[in-house]
Structures are given as C-alpha cells and as structure tokens.
Amino acid sequence: MLKLCGFASSNYYNKVKVVLLEKGVPFEEELVMVSQDAAVLERSPMGKVPFLDLGGGRTISESQVILEYLEDAYPQPPLYPGDPWAKARCRELITHMELHLELVTRRLYRQAFYGGEVSEAIKDATKADLAKGVPAFMRLAKFSPWVAGAEFSAADCVAAMHLPLVSIATKVIYGADAFGEHAERVWTYLKMASERPSISKVNDDRKAFVAARKKSS
C-alpha cells in the first residue's frame, strides 16, 4: 500500500493527503519529521516532507510531483480539466500559489507560528513580494465557485492548504491580511472548501496532531 510520509501539520503533506482522499486511493501514513538523517535522505533527498513511499525502495519527493504521479497512476476522478489549455491554467495557478504566495510567506512562519524572530528586512521583502503576488493571484483565481473554475480541481487541494497560512501569517506579522480587500472572498471560498469531506478530514487530523504535540511537549 502507498505510504504518505511526513506529518499532519505540514501544508505540503496535507495537500497530497487531500488528493489521495479525493481519489479514494488506499494509503497509510508514516510519521516522518524533517531530517538530515541518512535514512530520511535516502527516501527524500532534501530531507523534506512529504514524500510518497510506493514500496520496494521506490519513493517520490516534492508534493507537486507526487500530485502529478497520483493523477497519472489513478486518473479517476480527474483533478485536472481535460482541455489542455484549461489544464495548463490550473497548473499555472498552482505554481503561482506555491512560488509567489506560500514560499514567499513561509519566511514569516518562524515568527508567526513558532515563537521565533524574523528580521525587519525579511518582513519588508516579504511584504513587497506579496504586493505583487496577491494581485497576480487574484487575476488568476476564479472562485466560481472553485479556485480554478466550476469544477473542484488539484488547485483546490493546494489552495485549501496554503491560503489560510498566507492570510494568518500576514495578519500576525503585519496586523493586516495580505489578501487585503480580497480577504473576505478568499475566506468565503476557504470556508466552502473546508466543508468538503477530504479537506475537513485533513484539517481535523491537523488539529488533532497539533494538540497531541502540544500536550506531549
């Protein structure tokens, strides 16, 4: 059986978990923390999570590559539109959310979520990057009602996991949501997405994981 490796508070892990649940693919979860240990590096070359273990020494790292693998290996139900241009636009939206929203905002997480500190220079640079990334996202996103259009898609598996972090981290650090005037639209969408069984389960598992870690620390 497929093993999804990582931990339940990782948004990249959860993105893949939503895909597995949406496709009804049986899988197990293996708790693996970020690590530079040889045993982890052998399965995930950067020591990052998630990675997927197919058994027999076969692993795949990088959440988007895992998502694409799952789409190829388990085509039903499809998580991309059939039309090549619509499919490319869906991938464009995913790439945009990851490169220009999540990865940019990630620089703030240390202070926003983990009690650490981030320099003013990083805060300023992040703000400047988001000032371009957010309007670009709003130009690409459809919210009609799903993020890439009328159908639930791979882009929703990504958006539902990454967008809350962008919104919350920027509220914590700047006292203002990076989505600005669009925040209500984004959160209306996120609320709708969170009612989908796959996303609801992943969010519940995340909360349970975080609560258990807090209790044991």
Ligand X SMILES: N[C@@H](CCC(=O)N[C@@H](CS)C(=O)NCC(=O)O)C(=O)O
CB of 145 to ligand X, least distance (A): 26
Beta strands in the chain (DSSP E): 2-6, 27-31, 51-55, 58-61
Q: Which is nearer to ligand X, 8 or 134 (CB)?
A: 8
CB of 180 to ligand X, least distance (A): 25
Q: Which is nearer to ligand X, 50 or 133 (CB)?
A: 50
CB of 106 to ligand X, least distance (A): 7
19 vs 25: CA distance, rounded Å: 9
CB of 40 to ligand X, least distance (A): 10
Q: Which is nearer to ligand X, 50 or 81 (CB)?
A: 50
Whether a cis peptide bond, with omega within 30° of 0, leads into 81 is no
Q: Which is nearer to ligand X, 49 or 93 (CB)?
A: 49
Angle (nearest 5°) at CA 82 between 2 and 138: 90
Interface ranges with ligand X (CB under 6 A)? 10-12, 34, 47-50, 62-64
Residue nearest to ligand X (CB): 48
Which amino acid is located at 109 in the chain?
Y
Do residues 148 and 189 make contact, with C-beta atoms less than 8 angstroms apart? Answer: no
